[in-house]
Structure 1
Amino acid sequence: MKIGIDKIGFYAPHLYVDMNKLAVARNVEPEKFTIGIGQEKMAVAPITQDPVTLAANAARTILDDEDKEKIDFVIFGTESGIDNSKSAAVYVHQLLGLNPNARSIEVKQACYGATAGIQMAKGYIALNPESRVLVLGSDIARYGLNTSGESTQGAGAVAMVISADPKILALEDKSAYLTADIMDFWRPVYSDKAFVDGKFSNEQYIHFFNTVWEQYKAKSDLGLNDFEAICFHLPYTKMGLKALRTVLEEADEADQERLLANYKSSTMYNRNVGNIYTGSLYLSLVSLLEQSDQLKDGARIGLYSYGSGAVGEFFTGILQPNYREYLQAESHAELFAARTEVSIEEYEAVFQETVPVDGSTVEFDATKDTAAIYLAGIKDNMRQYVNKSN
């Protein structure tokens, strides 16, 4: 039985900042942002968008009535959780009107959370072939204004339906994974901003990739020539390229050219959204599938997931017949085209507007938020969500 991604979509907030202008404002050469780390635009989440609304907005565009009835497991991967007890998945379940006879949970391991959700979903579908699982990766990356990590911020979510006989990507059985207790990136419960040792984190990202890649080759007897493309978790688009270059010499020139060309296609969306933590790898996958004209049905795609702290995994999937018919390329193009650029001053003001943590009752102005689902305010310590499409 084939199990894998039946549907996939993403959502990013309607505001963004131009990285060239951010560089100028921070007295940095623009090329450091646009070429050095490979970012052009950074999505900015207004106060009316949080990880719950981002995920719900990503999912609502891909689900039909049959999905809503058959989905009986919602797995929400995030490192931007809004509650220490109640899972973000429960909110999304209600906002989307899913079958009440369902399980809903939140999974945490830095940027690896959505991958853990997919692997969990795969096992669940193997036991329950008629079911469908909604896996969400949703985050708002925050390092702070005028910090070294500011240029690798972002906001957005990816939603995937995992099922038997998937229409887009069938996941293969073999994978390789690694855990090590390191402090390359973390966010204590008392902080709304992350702490990061950037150089060490980059080194560990590549070390983990090299390790799981060697393990995967030993398990599968496959090599680079067996892959049409490899997608990477992308905290910034140059990061995956650094890792890919460490193994490119294993391939001949034609394979190298193909892998590099498809890598470029896989970064186009991330380059214009920024880092979305748990969703970054899957935003890269969406970008590859919708932007590459070289992919063919039956091609093997590699996926490298890395979550600081740290857990890494390399796994694979096979593109299914006529997979392009089930993508959301047109709606994603419209999403990008409808976004609004904000000035540096406006971006800084939005960044500093945060949800109160003292129990205050507050109502947010959502008149400028174009999303169907948004956060309307806080009342009695409870977030008030609105779905305008209901």
Structure 2
Amino acid sequence: MAQIGIDKMSFFSPHQYIDMTELANARNEEPGKYLIGIGQTQQAVVPPTQDVVTMAVNAADQILTPAEREEIDTIIFATESGIDNSKSAAVYAQRLLGLSPYARTIEMKQACYAGTYGLMQARDYVALHPGAKVLVMASDIARYGLHTPGEVTQGAGAVAMLVTENPRILTINRDNQFMSRDVMDFWRPVYAEEALVDGKYSAEVYREFFRDLWARYKEKTGLAIDDFKAFAFHLPFTKMGLKALRDILPEADEAKQALLLTEFEASRVYNKRIGNLYTGSVYLSLYSLLENSTTLTAGDRLGIFSYGSGAEGEFYSVELQPNFRDGLVTGQMDQLFDSREYMTIPDYEENFMAGLHGATDREFDITKDPAKFVLAGLKDQQRVYLAH
């Protein structure tokens, strides 16, 4: 059977951010609660000129060649921040990216988990259609509301992944273990713009799912913690993944524990500065691990834990390929962080109330947004997307 996996990866997040120390001070909280207890230092802020579609295409546009735009025949868009209850966000992405009209386009939803399901569907599709190429995009805006307990775990961004045979970055093993259960730890009714969450309960369910799936994975595969070089976790906030990792560390000796903790730190470098991006969170963590680890080599097995509230979880492994960093965009994250604009808390609060609320026609000032693809406004209840 052909080796199938992620050939290229790319990331995008808006050009503005707030500082978590300043947010803590504005909310009369000790900064350590956010910086250490939650594990976040900065948070991406979404201007009115960006949404899940523009973020996804801004990410994907950086990795696709003209030939690949013609060859891609399936476009999978994972999000829980959809812009339409009927029309798939993938259709907008297809047009904006100049992809072949002879492609399937679909949007998937199951909280933060949908990106993983999309990735597995892409893997299985390529297995059945040799030579096929599938574009998977996971794009989201984590939004809880001002002065809410979840405010510190907001964020936004998009990960784009090209799935092919003989991939440059990694192959996806067929050892997936998954589970679902009807749990009310997080949800967003169709009438609400902000999510509802029972934070403490959700954290407990997350760790419970991980422990259950890890035990099942070991039973089904015969593998153990020593067979893994590192783990990438879904990180709604980065301390969450650390707690889950600590649950299984006693299975390893001291040297292995130290190694896994070091690799975990590499895996959360970017998430600490972006915040939560729901469906793309675990893949930003993977991206961070690939770029910031100093010890990863070809053939290393990595464990991936994906979780979506409500709830669904999946654990699987991947294997790194020779020259795996060649499938990443060189300098992408450094450029993003170096060019981001600092935003004060009052400006962030004003921005939070802006955007497309309701059906009234309006235009946005796109001159202040440096991204290639932007949302220019609303006309006749249709979103106006532009490339500039």
Specify the TM-score bucket, using the shorter chain as the normaliser. Answer: over 0.9
Q: Does 2:143 align with 1:142?
A: yes
Tell me the matched-pair count.
387
The amino acid that maps onto 2:206 is Y
SS of residue matched to 2:73: strand
| Residue aligning to 2:95 | 94
Match of 1:379 in 2: 379
Work out the CA distance in 2 between the residues paired with 1:338 and 1:29: 28
Q: Percent identity?
A: 55
> In structure 2, what is the Cα distance between the partners aligned to 1:331 and 1:21?
27
Rounded to whole Å, the distance in 2 between the matches of 1:350 and 1:8 is 30
The answer for the alignment partner of 2:360 in structure 1 is: 360
1:181 Cα offset (Å): 0.3
Q: Which amino acid aligns with 1:363?
A: E
Residue 243 (structure 2) aligns with: 242
Tell me whether 1:302 sits opposite 2:306 in the alignment.
Answer: no
Cα deviation, residue 258, structure 1: 1.0
Residue equivalent to 2:269 = 268
Q: CA deviation at 1:325?
A: 2.2
Checking the alignment, whether the CA contact within 8 Å between 2:47 and 2:355 is kept in structure 1 is: no
Counterpart of 2:186? 185
1:330-353 deviation per Cα after TM superposition (whole angstroms, max 9, x unaligned): 122111110000000110011110
Does structure 2 conserve the Cα–Cα contact (< 8 Å) formed by 1:290 and 1:329? Answer: no
Work out the CA distance in 1 between the residues paired with 2:47 and 2:184: 30
Residue identity matched to 2:176: S
Aligned-partner Cα distance in 2 for 1:107–1:326:
25
Q: Structure 1: how far apart are the matches of 2:385 and 2:19?
A: 29
TM-score, normalization by structure 1: 0.98
The one-letter amino acid of 2:257's match is Q
Whole-Å separation in 2 of the counterparts to 1:300 and 1:366: 43
- 1:38-49 equivalences under 5 Å are 38-49=39-50
Per the alignment, residue 81 of structure 1 pairs with: 82
Deviation track 1:142-192 (CA, whole Å, cap 9, x = no partner) reads: 000000000000010000001111110100011100000010000000000
Aligned partner of 1:172 in structure 2 is 173
Equivalent-residue separation in structure 2 for 1:129 and 1:186 (angstroms)? 38
Is the Cα–Cα contact under 8 Å of residues 3 and 166 in structure 2 kept in the other structure?
yes
Q: How far off is 1:65 after superposition? A: 1.3
* Equivalence for 1:114: 115
Do the aligned residues in 2 keep the contact of 1:18 with 1:42 (CA within 8 Å)?
Answer: yes
Q: Unaligned 5+ residue runs, structure 1?
A: none
- Measured in 2, the distance between the counterparts of 1:96 and 1:387 equals 10
SS of residue matched to 1:159: strand
Q: Which residues in structure 2 correspond to 1:338-353 (within 5 Å)?
A: 338-353=339-354
Structure 1 letter corresponding to 2:122 = A
- How far is the alpha carbon of 1:324 from its aligned partner? 1.7
* Paired residues of 2:271 and 2:285 also in contact (CA < 8 A): yes
* Other structure's SS at 2:367 match: coil
Structure 2: which amino acid aligns with 1:364? F
Q: How does 1:314-329 map to 2 (within 5 A)?
A: 314-329=315-330
Secondary structure class of the residue paired with 1:143? coil
Equivalent residues of 1:70, 1:130 under 8 A apart:
no
Q: Secondary structure at the match of 1:286?
A: helix
> How far off its partner does 1:354 sit?
2.5
User: SS of the counterpart of 2:274?
Assistant: coil
Residue in 2 aligned with 1:230? 231
Partner Cα separation in structure 2 for residue 2 and residue 287 of structure 1: 23
Report the counterpart of residue 3 of structure 2 in structure 1: 2
Taking structure 2 as the reference length, the TM-score comes to 0.99
Q: Any conservation in 1 of the 2:20–2:152 contact (CA below 8 Å)? A: yes
1:33 alignment partner in structure 2:
34
Task: Please tell me whether the aligned partners of residues 5 and 163 of structure 2 are also in contact (alpha carbons under 8 angstroms).
Answer: yes
| Aligned-residue offset at 1:356 | 2.9
Which segments of structure 1 move beyond 4 Å, counting only runs of 4 or more?
A: none
Q: Residue 329 of structure 1: CA displacement?
A: 4.0
- Which residue is 1:369 aligned to? 369
Match of 2:25 in 1: 24
For 1:387 and 1:161, how far apart are their aligned partners in 2?
Answer: 22
Deviations 1:2-29 (A, max 9, x none): 0100000100100000000010111100
CA distance in 2, matches of 1:225, 1:202: 26
| Cα distance per residue 1:26-71 (max 9 Å; x no partner) | 1100011011111000000000000000101011111111211111
Letter in 2 for 1:273: I
Take 2:130 and 2:31, find their aligned partners in 1: how far apart are those partners?
51
2:56 is aligned to 55
1:211-226 correspondence to structure 2 within 5 Å: 211-226=212-227
Cα distance in 1 between the residues matched to 2:200 and 2:52:
28
Partner of 1:279 in structure 2? 280
| Native 8 Å contact 1:77 1:117 kept in 2 | yes
Structure 2 unmatched runs, 5+:
none
Q: Which amino acid aligns with 1:296?
A: T
What are the Cα deviations for residues 266-317 of structure 1, in whole angstroms up to 9, with x where unaligned?
A: 0000000000000000000000001111101110011000000000000110
1:118-158 deviation per Cα after TM superposition (whole angstroms, max 9, x unaligned): 01111100111211101011000000000000000001000
* Residue identity opposite 1:181 in structure 2: D
| Residues in 1 aligned to 2:218 and 2:47: alpha-carbon distance in whole angstroms | 44
